[in-house]
Amino acid sequence: MTPATEPASGGGAPGREHSGRAGAGPEAAGGPEVTGDTTPVHGKAVAPAAHAAHAAHAAPVAAADPTPGPALDRPVSAATSVATSSGPVGPLGPVVAGVDIGGTKTSAALVGPDGAVGPVVTVPTPAAEGPAAVLAAVAGAVRALGGAPVAVGVGSAGVIDPVRGRVVSATDAMPGWAGTELRSGLEQLLGLPVAVDNDVHAHALGEAWTGAARGARCVLLVAVGTGVGGSLLIDGRVHHGARQVAGHLGHLAVPAATGLPCTCGGTGHVEAVAAGPALHAAYRRAGGSPDVPDLRAVAALAAAGDDRATRVLATGARALGQAIGGLANVLDPDLVLIGGGVAHCGPPWWDPLRAAFAAELLPPLAELPLTACALGPTAAIVGAARLAGAAEPRQVLGERQAPVC
């Protein structure tokens, strides 16, 4: 299994989410190949070498346009020196490796001390082969980055105990993943300190460090893709809850989902009406053509004015907006961020989402911002790297601390 290297860029597609993402990266015929511009969304680049960093602190990043942009496919040799407009990157600090483990693909990149991301290496996640194969694939992706990272941070699908470094539970998308000693297993394979957390929590940490939530004290992030997940940051730290399961907002009950089965085994939850597969299934139930293969196609029909597709997206978006608005009344965050593949469905989805969200808010929260995430598919990598910053050097001393953004 040969890793493919891709640019650190924004974008995404309907159906991508943060616990078992759809669409594995392509395999390259030779060694790691850079398939696009190596400058990430921050406008800076990290050289894949030991202690590579950036000459200036990253500026705040504006919220991303929720519509997908064109893919970058200009080939660049993996051995090509990475440089900014002012010249090669200087050795101003240690780099760490950030890793995002999904149900079908795993991505990794070197990240500088200011959060700037180098070229992204992507490999298929061999979930069906068991946890040992997944850990080996992760270790291979990290080694393929080159350089000399001083620590590794991992955001993984599943419920993760960041203190013990263990997978508490996981869906059937990753058989046997529950119970995996994620941190210690990777430390043995890589010989580096490792910090771990859930991938949606890593996504939130990334946005808080260099993205749309930078500087916010209390942030609610909602990730909508194959499932619906969330993360709450308070004073820069993830709120995990007493059993590490905080953030499962896809299992809030909403009227629009009454009677619909949820992946958790219950019924009536917002995930059953608002997640990517649920939206596609709703289009089929509404009499949509069986030739429309996925949510991306449904979104394209809605953008072209198709009434059926528009109604389906609006129903799911309103249910999600209602759930998020009610949760905002409980939490009173500074900011609500929306990410995941479904967030790329454009105005037919965003407009009813915003309207339903606003309708639920108590008057003191009337101006609460709800906006798109800024970092695109590298967000969990950036957040995982933030975890790695907490792993080194304190983790070597046995002091497990969560990062403060």
Angle at 62 between CA 57 and CA 64, to 5 degrees: 125
Domains of the chain: 4-206+376-397 (3.30.420.40), 216-372 (3.30.420.40)
Q: What is the reported pLDDT for 281?
A: 97
Q: What is the reported pLDDT for 199?
A: 95
Q: What is the reported pLDDT for 405?
A: 54
Entry pTM: 0.77
Residue 329 structure tokens: 């009344």
Q: What is the reported pLDDT for 37?
A: 36
What's the average pLDDT block by block, 10 residues per block, for the chain (405 residues)?
47 34 33 34 36 30 33 24 25 82 95 94 97 98 95 96 95 93 98 96 96 96 95 95 93 96 94 97 96 97 98 98 98 97 97 98 98 95 91 41 52
Q: What is the reported pLDDT for 403?
A: 54
Q: What is the reported pLDDT for 387?
A: 93
Burial classification of residue 172, based on how many CB atoms lie within 10 Å of its CB (0-12 exposed, 13-18 middle, 19 or more buried): exposed
At 228-244, the pLDDT tens digits run 999 999 999 999 999 99
Residue partners of 313: CB distance under 8 A and separation at least 6: 279, 298, 299, 302, 345, 348, 349, 352
Per the CB < 8 A criterion, the answer to whether 258 and 268 are in contact is yes
The closest alpha carbon to 8, from 35, 32, 30, belongs to 35
Q: What is the reported pLDDT for 172?
A: 85
